[in-house]
Amino acid sequence: MSDIMQALRDGADGVGIFACHKGECDFESGNYAAERHLNAVKFMLAESGFNPDRVGIYFMSAAEIDRYLNAVTDLVTRVGALPVNPLKSDNTRGLTISSS
């Protein structure tokens, strides 16, 4: 949870989590936990007036390039429509998503 939040604090415009299909996690329930944490982060963001759309979780296997592409496109479109995070440092500046 704090890792997602920290990414936003360090200047990320959005955070995507790409997880294995449910039930196929190498750590048994790791992806369920990730989803739970992500939901909590969404809750915290919404509670304090941020757009919860800045974070998202997508489930896919390593072989499903189409799902991956769709997921990234989805995230970029969603986050691209939102204002740019002003907290960017030199490390995270490259990550700016242009909304064109």
Partner 1 sequence: MSFFPKALGKNDGTLPRATGSRIPLEIGRMRTMTSTIIADMDAGHVEQLPLLVHAARSFRLRCLVDAQADIEKAGVISVDEYQGALRALVKEESRKATVLREMERAGNEVDLEALISMMAPFGVRAAETVSAAFQLVVEGFLSCSVESPASCTFTFVTADATLAKPYYVPVKAVDEGMACSGCGTCQSACPVGCIVVDDGKVSIDMDKCIRCGLCYTVCPRSFLPKKAMEWAVKNDGFDADELKAGAYIEAWSAKTLNGGIATKAQDGGISSSLLVQAFQAGDITAAIGAGIKEGTPWKPEARVLRSVEDVVAVAGTKYVNTPSLALLRSLKDISAIAVVGTPCMMQALKKVDVYPPGTVATSNIKYRIGIFCMESFTHAAVKMLCEKTFGTSLDGVTKMNIKEGQFIVSLGDGEQKSESMKEVTRLARVGCHCCHDLTSECADVSVGSIGSPDGWNTVLVRTPAGKALFDAAVEAGLIEKKPLEEVEPGIVAVKKLAMIKKRNYDKEQGKRDEAQEFHPSYFMKLPPKEKKAAKAEQDE
Q: Which of 57, 71, 75, 97 binds partner 1 (CB under 8 A)?
A: 57
Say how far apart CA 72 and CA 98 lie, in whole Å.
Answer: 14
Q: Which of 18, 37, 60, 76 binds partner 1 (CB under 8 A)?
A: 37
CB atoms within 10 A of CB 24: 11
What sections of 1-100 are H helices per DSSP? 2-9, 30-47, 65-80, 90-93
- Asked if 48 is part of the footprint of partner 1 (rule: CB under 8 A), the reply reads yes
Q: Mapping DSSP to helix (H, G, I), strand (E, B) and coil, where does residue 19 land?
A: strand
Q: What are phi and psi of 89, to 5 degrees?
A: -105, 180
82 interacts with partner 1 by CB under 8 A:
yes
Binding of partner 1 at residue 72 (CB under 8 A)? no
Tell whether residue 71 is a contact of partner 1 (CB under 8 A).
Answer: no
Using CB under 8 A as the criterion, which residues of the chain lie in contact with partner 1 when the complex forms? 1-2, 4-6, 8-9, 33, 35-37, 39-54, 57, 77-78, 81-87
